[in-house]
């Protein structure tokens, strides 16, 4: 540190070196901020061979450079990726050689989808619910466009790729390039204006909206709602070729056709000249074949009609009609004989039926049925009488067995009180001098208790 006298001589000025300033600021940051948790979105992610992970942590309003050294990054259970929303535990520091404020990340956890990704999904759901992605609204591409517009950056690789493919495949269409910025704040408005102007001109058949690859931030203009609605409102079919195969934007979902790359968009819009020539040759061969078949069919038709004219000669017609009359007479005779035979059979059947309807026949049949019924009734009555007699005999035997008289006949007796006829079952029911009656099998006895 150098101490110098001030010009005024009142006090000395303390002059810092840049290194000392950075060192003291770094110490001050480390002392003021312990390990803290920070939430944000990953951007500009890089992971060189050293194993360290370099990235920016950002939100909608700010960003900060960050590093996660190899000893911490090797413990990550996932691969940090662009647009990932994370929660990091970090120390606040300063990279002294460049004087850059940075975060030194010790721990990282997934915290959900990034801010831009959440905005993307929300707009995607909204437009899908409105029907902007429906296949019902997709316009077909013209098979042979005579004029097409390319909406992209005039200095980008996407335009060179598209023009190269068009020149190689089908160099006939009139190509008009509408140059726009393909990223940045003004890009979305430029895309909307380009689509509107092209539709007002009404001199094109199809529009290619394209740009090369990039991060989600670079492609964000194609995720704006205004761009999506401009594509949907276009009267000309719009083909998108934005980014790489894995990149999907809102514009891709609304477009009439999405191509994975700008080059692929050019391939989808125009056919290959060789394929067109092959198709024309096939059509030429088909036309020749059709002409030959048509001429052959006409020759056959003329021959057939000539034969018909020969068959229509008057002499042949008279002969055919004569043979026809002979045949008809033969058929008429056969039909008359068949009809007579049918009438004879019908008459015989009627006589048989009349014989069956005679009263004498009915009386005879009724007598036979009555005789049969009488026999059946008599047999039924006899059977029932025999069954009932058997039941009565069975019931009589049962009554004899259960009858008190049968019991008395075996030497038993029934003793009852004289005055009320109560049956005596035990000695305590009677008292001295009380009269009783003893019922025997034959007759009864009167007695008195002593």
Contact residues for 415 (Cβ-Cβ < 8 A; gap 6+): 423, 424, 436, 437, 438, 439
Strand partners, 446: 437
CA distance 167 to 184: 30
CA distance 37 to 89: 4
Query: Vertex 288, ends 285 and 292: CA angle to 5°?
Result: 140
Q: Where are the alpha helices (DSSP H) in 314-414?
A: 314-356, 359-402, 404-409
**Looking at residue 3, what is its pLDDT?**
45
**Looking at residue 1, what is its pLDDT?**
42
Closest CA relative to residue 148, chosen from 202, 207, 232 = 207
**What crossing angle do the helices spanning 225-233 and 115-130 adopt, rounded to 10°?**
30
Contact residues for 171 (Cβ-Cβ < 8 A; gap 6+): 273
Structure confidence by residue, pLDDT tens digits, 237-296: 999 999 888 889 999 999 999 999 999 999 999 988 677 666 667 777 777 778 878 877
**Looking at residue 202, what is its pLDDT?**
84
CA distance 247 to 117: 12
Give the CA dihedral 178, 182, 186, 190, nearest 10 degrees.
20
Closest CA relative to residue 41, chosen from 81, 87, 85 = 85
Residue for token digits 């430029």? 190
- Per the CB < 8 A criterion, the answer to whether 254 and 224 are in contact is no
**Looking at residue 114, what is its pLDDT?**
62
φ and ψ at residue 45, rounded to 5 degrees: -75, 135
Q: Which two tokens stand for residue 311?
A: 């068959």
CA distance 212 to 209: 11
- Per the CB < 8 A criterion, the answer to whether 197 and 235 are in contact is no
How many CA atoms lie within 13 Å of 164's alpha carbon, on the beta-carbon side? 8
- Per the CB < 8 A criterion, the answer to whether 43 and 54 are in contact is no
Q: How far apart, in Å, are the Cα atoms of 232 and each of 86, 122, 138, 202, 223?
A: 35, 18, 9, 16, 13
**Looking at residue 172, what is its pLDDT?**
67
Q: What is the mean pLDDT of the chain?
A: 85
**Looking at residue 258, what is its pLDDT?**
96
Residue for token digits 């992610």? 45
What's the chain's Rg over C-alpha atoms? 59
Question: Cα 89 vs. chain centroid, distance in angstroms?
Answer: 44
CA distance 240 to 269: 10
**Looking at residue 4, what is its pLDDT?**
45
User: Percent of the chain having pLDDT more than 90?
Assistant: 36
- Per-residue pLDDT tens listing for the chain (450 residues): 444 444 555 567 888 888 888 888 888 887 888 888 998 999 999 999 999 999 999 988 899 999 999 999 999 989 999 988 899 999 998 888 888 899 999 999 887 656 677 788 899 999 999 999 999 999 999 998 989 999 999 998 999 999 999 988 887 678 999 999 999 888 999 999 999 999 999 889 999 999 998 877 789 999 999 999 999 999 999 999 998 888 899 999 999 999 999 999 999 999 886 776 666 677 777 777 788 788 778 878 877 877 776 666 676 777 777 788 788 878 888 888 888 778 777 767 776 776 666 666 677 777 888 888 888 888 888 888 888 888 888 887 777 777 777 777 777 888 888 788 888 888 778 888 888 888 887 888 888 887
Structure confidence by residue, pLDDT tens digits, 348-378: 777 677 666 666 667 777 788 888 888 888 8
Counting every residue, how long is the chain? Answer: 450
Closest CA relative to residue 222, chosen from 252, 180, 181, 202 = 252
Contact residues for 441 (Cβ-Cβ < 8 A; gap 6+): 405, 408, 409, 411
Closest CA relative to residue 29, chosen from 88, 100, 86, 98 = 100
**Looking at residue 125, what is its pLDDT?**
95
**Residue 96: how many other CB atoms lie within 10 Å:** 14
**Looking at residue 355, what is its pLDDT?**
65
**Looking at residue 165, what is its pLDDT?**
92
**Looking at residue 297, what is its pLDDT?**
84
Structure confidence by residue, pLDDT tens digits, 118-139: 788 899 999 999 999 999 999 9
């Amino acid at each position: 540190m150098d101490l110098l006298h001030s010009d005024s001589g009142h006090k000395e000025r303390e002059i810092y070196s840049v290194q000392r300033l950075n060192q003291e600021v770094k110490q001050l940051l480390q002392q003021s901020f312990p390990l803290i948790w920070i939430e944000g979105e990953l951007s500009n992610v890089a992971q060189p061979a050293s194993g360290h992970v370099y990235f920016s942590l950002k939100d909608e309003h700010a960003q900060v450079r960050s590093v996660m050294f190899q000893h911490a990054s090797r413990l990550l259970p996932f691969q940090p990726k662009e647009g990932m929303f994370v929660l990091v535990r970090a120390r606040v520091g300063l990279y002294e050689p460049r004087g850059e404020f940075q975060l030194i990340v010790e721990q990282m956890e997934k915290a959900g989808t990034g801010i831009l990704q959440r905005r993307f999904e929300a707009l995607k759901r909204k437009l899908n619910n409105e029907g902007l992605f429906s296949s019902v609204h997709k316009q077909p591409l013209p098979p042979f466009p005579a004029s097409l517009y390319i909406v992209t950056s005039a200095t980008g690789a996407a335009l060179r790729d598209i023009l190269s493919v068009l020149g190689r495949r089908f160099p006939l269409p009139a190509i008009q390039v509408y140059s726009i910025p393909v990223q940045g704040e003004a890009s979305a408005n430029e895309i909307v204006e380009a689509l509107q102007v092209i539709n007002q001109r009404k001199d094109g058949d199809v529009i290619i909206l394209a740009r090369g690859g990039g991060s989600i931030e670079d492609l964000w203009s194609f995720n704006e709602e205004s761009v999506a609605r401009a594509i949907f409102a276009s009267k000309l079919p719009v083909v998108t070729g934005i980014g790489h195969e894995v990149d999907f934007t809102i514009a891709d979902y609304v477009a009439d056709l999405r191509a994975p790359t700008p080059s692929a968009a050019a391939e989808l819009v125009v056919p290959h000249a060789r394929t067109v020539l092959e198709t024309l040759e096939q059509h030429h061969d088909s036309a020749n074949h059709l002409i030959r078949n048509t001429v052959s069919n006409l020759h056959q038709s003329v021959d057939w009609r000539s034969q018909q004219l020969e068959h229509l000669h008057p002499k042949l017609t008279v002969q055919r009609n004569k043979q026809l009359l002979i045949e008809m007479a033969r058929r008429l005779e056969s039909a008359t004989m068949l009809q007579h035979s049918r009438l004879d059979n019908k008459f015989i059947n009627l006589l048989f039926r009349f014989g069956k309807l005679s009263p004498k026949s009915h009386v005879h049949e009724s007598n036979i049925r009555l005789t049969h019924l009488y026999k059946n009734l008599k047999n039924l009555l006899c059977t029932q009488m025999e069954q009932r007699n058997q039941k009565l005999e069975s019931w009589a035997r049962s009554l004899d067995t259960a009858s008190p008289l049968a019991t008395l006949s075996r030497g038993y007796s029934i003793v009852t009180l004289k005055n009320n006829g109560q049956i005596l079952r035990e000695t305590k029911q009677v008292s001295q001098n009380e009269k009783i009656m003893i019922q025997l099998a034959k007759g009864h006895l009167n007695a008195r208790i002593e």
